[in-house]
Copies of this chain bind each other. A is one copy, B any other.
Amino acid sequence: MPSQELIRSLTDEHVLRALMQHRRLTRAELATEIGISKPTAGESVRRLAERGLVTDTGERTPGGRGRGRVGSYYALAPDVGVALAVVIAPEGVVAERLDIYGNTVAHAVRPIDRPTRPSQAAEALQAAAGEVLAACGQPVRLAVVSAADPVDRATGRLVQLPDSPFLVGDLDPVAILAPHVAGTVVVDNDVNWAARAESGTGDDFCYLFLGEGLGCAIVSDGEVRRGHTGLVGEIAHLLTAGPGGRAIPFIEVFTELSLRRPDSTAINVERLLTSDAGTRAAVGEAVGGVVAAVIALADPQEIVVGGAWGPALVDDIRAQTARMPRSVPVRAADLTGEPVLSGVRAEALSRLRSVITANS
């Protein structure tokens, strides 16, 4: 008997998923949509309404549909819950409140000074989250956070790695957001979220991020891989070919080419973009070494290059990779829209829906 209720919860889950997709349906529509009988649909709606997950919207089928009896439209209860999506970048913090349909129902931005004043990121995060969740009236079921720094997988804290620009500053998003959220706080770095947004492309690809910082995301078998500590893709110390063909860590290439900001560990993007052909070729060769490592260890179907300067040098990179024994297509990322925010939103929505359908 204990497994008997499994099938009922499956029915309820189907009903909820259908309502998430179609917003409002009559019981008859639910039955045909899901492929169950009308009495079963009616029973499920009754149960879900009793639990407060589904309500009669009061709307009735418009007469235009035909002649028959009017049906009652049911929809998810207006207080099923929302998700918080947050992007923490050096330019500022963006927070959004997402409803169960994936709509952004609130949006807040807080700028951050550069270089970051200690604790300013925390304040900005606090403020943006507070603004977005003010007078929400619904449970905040989870938060998904992007940070422009490496993230410890176990704790969700930002970690400072040697020689990497620490863009956002020391921060513990979980601790800050936990009081606002009645559920999980998921934190990962921006590159991984951007890769998730691009993930429709294929099941095995690599997103190479080349901007002020260096990073990459590896999508393998359809999932963004994070590794044991969450530091997959922190490629600053990967050995590659530097000027003169010497093997040096990737980030050192930029030091030797005088392409790093003197006051920080970040790469000077402006200077890189205006540099001469020889410098660009040297950078291309260094990136080529990174690509060789990615091909050897991740075997992607495609390599997507993004970041502030990556797409501009995609030809130089391609010139290197074309000569390699195992060649993989390299293309610039579509810079349309905000890939990081898209990835965060997608994750937040899918998790929110799972949470709501799960506790059956």
Contacts and interface: CB of A to CB of B under 8 A. Distances in A.
Interface in A204-238: 204, 216, 218, 220-221, 223, 225-238
A247 B238 contact: no
A161 B299 CA distance: 14
B293 A228 contact: no
A44 interface: no
B233 A296 contact: yes
B239 A293 contact: yes
A239 B323 CA distance: 13
Nearest to A3: B7
Q: Bin chain A's interface residue count.
A: 35 or more
A227 B233 contact: no
Given A7-B3, A325-B237, A298 B246 contact: no
A241 to B, nearest CB: 4
A10 interface: yes
A137 interface: no
Interface string A53-75: 00000000000000000000000
A162 interface: yes
Contact of A299 (B226, B246, B249, B300): B226
A136 interface: no
A7 to B, nearest CB: 5
A220 B230 CA distance: 11
Interface string A282-300: 0000000100111111111
Nearest to A214: B296
A239 B237 contact: no
A26 interface: no
Contacts of A301: 228-229
A167 to B, nearest CB: 18
B299 A297 contact: no
* 10 shortest interchain CB distances as A-B pairs: A227-B299, A247-B247, A241-B247, A204-B228, A228-B301, A239-B289, A293-B293, A238-B296, A162-B325, A232-B299
13 contacts: A3-B7, A218-B297, A220-B227, A221-B225, A230-B299, A231-B299, A233-B296, A233-B297, A234-B296, A234-B299, A234-B326, A237-B295, A245-B246
